[in-house]
Structure 1
Amino acid sequence: MKFRCERDDLVEALGTAGRAVANRGGALPVLSGVRLELEGDTLRLTGSDLDLTISVTTTVAGESNGVAVVPAKIASDVVRSLDSGRVEIVVEDDEAQITSGRFASSIRLLPADEFPRLASPAENAVTLDAGDLSSALSQVVPAASSDDARPILTGVLMAAEGNGLRLVATDSYRLAVRDLEGSAVLDEGQTVLVPSRALRELVRALGDGEVTLRLGEREATFEVGSTRVTTRLIEGEFPNYRGLIPSTYPNRMVVSREALGDAVRRVRLMAREATPVRLTMSAEGLELDAVTQDIGQARESVDATFDGTELTVGFNPDYLLDGIEVAPGEEITLETTDANKPAVLRSVDRGDFLYLLMPVRI
């Protein structure tokens, strides 16, 4: 195999494919590498840990076709260290020779025949607006759990809802729900559970235009331009999230999203060692405060409209801020029942996003 390409293009392609490379102990040694496959002037780079696979193509000046697996980290580090310009890679026997200007290096290859044969994407495909999907995922994915001991909660539920698609994620402390109207991806009653890790990588690849989704029995593949992200689906029953969302709330506060976010950022500076930020809501408006023993306290008032019975609720400031930052619109509502039951944050102007947050006892 022999080809020439621009250093910047190769750095980007190696970085994209390399994000799926296996880093955990016990994985097949060959999965620590990126598979290169050259056919004509098209170079395909693939990284995989068997659960997540990222494949990207880039145009090169190819001289001879071939397949090789290069150690991901060292290959990426070497190419990134080069000056911008032309890079030549020649694969002979068990080495990849990299030259650029006066620089020359050789890297020992991993056995290409040991790289797992990956399943082909499903044939049935649907297209989604990439911008809309990116926005929805940015709102929902942060609410998924990162605790692998509870794999069900590390996924994002995709479910048919009306004539569109619903995305749901929870880590048991907060819940995010976003509807994409008119995106009929699934059949009525159908659901799939997609690992949040794969969706975070997908968000990095999304831009304008369209994304193609191919759903198989056990895998989902997203195709965006020259990048393909394939992930195994999570098996199991997602929690009954609908039962967590009360149908009515006796207390409702309307507040500027920007003003509330800024106040939380300032007050949480004193919320150390799991100290909650307390929100006191009344007819006079909203007051936030946090007190951490031996450190100090902070308090700030924010203009707000409140209907209901005066109450004080404590929240994890980071979780609260996550919801505020991704809610659309200039004004948001915070609906509460009492200090010990879930609160719901929504946009005043749009009904396609909901963020439920469990309070912290104070």
Structure 2
Amino acid sequence: MKFRVERDVLAEAVTWVARGLPARPPVPVLAGILLEASDDGTLTLSAFDYEVSARVTVAADVTEAGTVLVLGRLLADISRNLPNRPIDVVADGSKVQVTCGASRFSLLRMPADDYPTLPTAPEPTGSVDGHVFTQAVAQVSVAADRGDTLPILTGVRVEVDGDKMTLLATDRYRLAMREITWSPTATDASHVVLVPARTLSETARSLGASGSIDVALGATAGGDGLAGFEAGRRRTTTRLLDGEYPKVASIFPTTSDTEAVVRTDELVEAVKRVALVAERNTPVRLRFGDGQVAIEAGTGDDAQASEAVECALTGPEIEIAFNPTYLLDGLGQVGTDWSRISFTQASRPAVLSGQKEQDGEADTSYRYVIMPVRYAS
């Protein structure tokens, strides 16, 4: 194998493929990136850890077609640090020679025959705007569980009903849901899948700038549950999570007694400052009254802090407490100048949504439900 490729092209491609390489691969070859040079002037780079696969195809000046497997993270480090000149790659016996200007590296050639075959994605289900999808995934995945106690809660539930896609995640203490419009290949498309949240987040961020993302949901010919995502010449698949996701839609309150509208950035900054004195797992208390919300943390002999922020209140005054991290996570994903918080009781979940103007309507396409925390008065 022998080819020449532009330094920035190779560095970007290797970095993208290497992002999912396992830190502790179960078998040594899974630490590698597969390079396949073709006579049609393309270079394909692939990585796979039995759960997630990534593949990208770039243009290259191929002198001799062939396939080699080299350590992925080492190749990524080298390609990022080479001078901005064309890179020549040549397979030479048990080594792979990488030359760029006066820089020369000799990499160990790994056994490509032992590398597993990458899965084939299911048939395309539809396409979605990259920016919208990236934002939606970020808004929802923030509520996914980060532990291993209940693996099913580490996923994002993706439901497709015609041209509507609903993403939902929960860790039992908060719940996030976002509804978006997409373009299905079939008008009667209907799917429900559970995608690992971390993988979905990384995929959305890496493909979102491409404009449009092709999405494939469902089973492959071999019966495996996979989700596939493709944008441009970048393709990735991930194995779906198995199990029945809890029926959490009932958590959303159907009515509200009190609603508060507050500037998002002002509330974020105030909660951040007040939470500085909150011990771990200690809530911040919010008192919503006429014209303002008072934020407090700390009691008794502990450090204390308080701050007030203007708000427009509809309904009875209410005092409620939240985990500050969970509250800030939701406020950070609203994405609008104003936030609306709806309450029923101080002991019941509150619903956070965004709105563009103080006197406007709430945008309920994104809703973030947060459970209150009991506190000593």
TM-score, normalised via structure 2 length: 0.90
CA distance in 2, matches of 1:309, 1:242: 26
- 2:366 aligns to what? 353
Q: 1:294 to 1:92 in 2, by over 3 A?
A: farther
- 1:62 aligns to what? 62
Contact kept, 8 Å, 2:134 with 2:201, in 1: the verdict is no
Q: Is 1:190 aligned with 2:191?
A: yes
Q: 1:216 to 1:339 in 2, by over 3 A?
A: same
Q: Does the residue aligned with 1:96 lie in a helix, a strand or coil?
A: strand
CA distance in 2, matches of 1:314, 1:20: 38
Q: Is 1:326 aligned with 2:327?
A: no
CA distance in 2, matches of 1:194, 1:145: 13
- 1:4 aligns to what? 4
Q: 1:10 to 1:295 in 2, by over 3 A?
A: farther
CA distance in 1, matches of 2:48, 2:148: 18
- 1:44 aligns to what? 44
Gaps of 5+ in 1: none
- 2:29 aligns to what? 30
Give the share of equivalent positions with the same residue, in percent: 37
2:180 alignment partner AA: L
- 1:209 aligns to what? 211
- 1:298 aligns to what? 305
Structure 1: which 4+ aligned runs deviate by more than 6 Å?
A: 292-295
Q: 1:164 to 1:72 in 2, by over 3 A?
A: same
Q: 1:211 to 1:189 in 2, by over 3 A?
A: closer
Q: Does the residue aligned with 1:207 lie in a helix, a strand or coil?
A: helix
Contact kept, 8 Å, 1:127 with 1:213, in 2: the verdict is yes
TM-score, normalised via structure 1 length: 0.94
CA distance in 1, matches of 2:185, 2:366: 19
Alignment of 1:125-140 (within 5 A): 125-140=125-140
Q: In structure 2, which of residues 243, 255, 265 is the aligned counterpart of residue 258 of structure 1?
A: 265
Deviation at 1:222, TM superposition (A): 0.4
Gaps of 5+ in 2: 220-224, 356-360
CA distance in 1, matches of 2:200, 2:176: 15
Contact kept, 8 Å, 1:340 with 1:359, in 2: the verdict is yes
Aligned residues: 361
Q: Is 1:245 aligned with 2:252?
A: yes
- 1:199 aligns to what? 200
- 1:97 aligns to what? 97
Alignment of 1:306-325 (within 5 A): 306-325=313-332
Q: CA offsets, 1:233-264, max 9 Å, x none?
A: 11111111111112112221111122212212
Q: Is 1:176 aligned with 2:183?
A: no
CA distance in 2, matches of 1:223, 1:163: 19
Q: 1:92 to 1:208 in 2, by over 3 A?
A: closer
Q: Does the residue aligned with 2:320 lie in a helix, a strand or coil?
A: strand
CA distance in 2, matches of 1:113, 1:230: 21
CA distance in 2, matches of 1:258, 1:127: 33
Deviation at 1:124, TM superposition (A): 3.6
CA distance in 1, matches of 2:300, 2:58: 56
Compute the RMSD of aligned alpha carbons: 2.0
- 1:116 aligns to what? 116
CA distance in 1, matches of 2:338, 2:350: 16
Contact kept, 8 Å, 2:193 with 2:217, in 1: the verdict is no
Q: Does the residue aligned with 2:298 lie in a helix, a strand or coil?
A: strand
Deviation at 1:98, TM superposition (A): 1.1
Deviation at 1:284, TM superposition (A): 4.2
Contact kept, 8 Å, 1:34 with 1:71, in 2: the verdict is yes
Deviation at 1:296, TM superposition (A): 2.4
- 2:282 aligns to what? 275
Q: Does the residue aligned with 2:142 lie in a helix, a strand or coil?
A: helix
Deviation at 1:184, TM superposition (A): 4.2
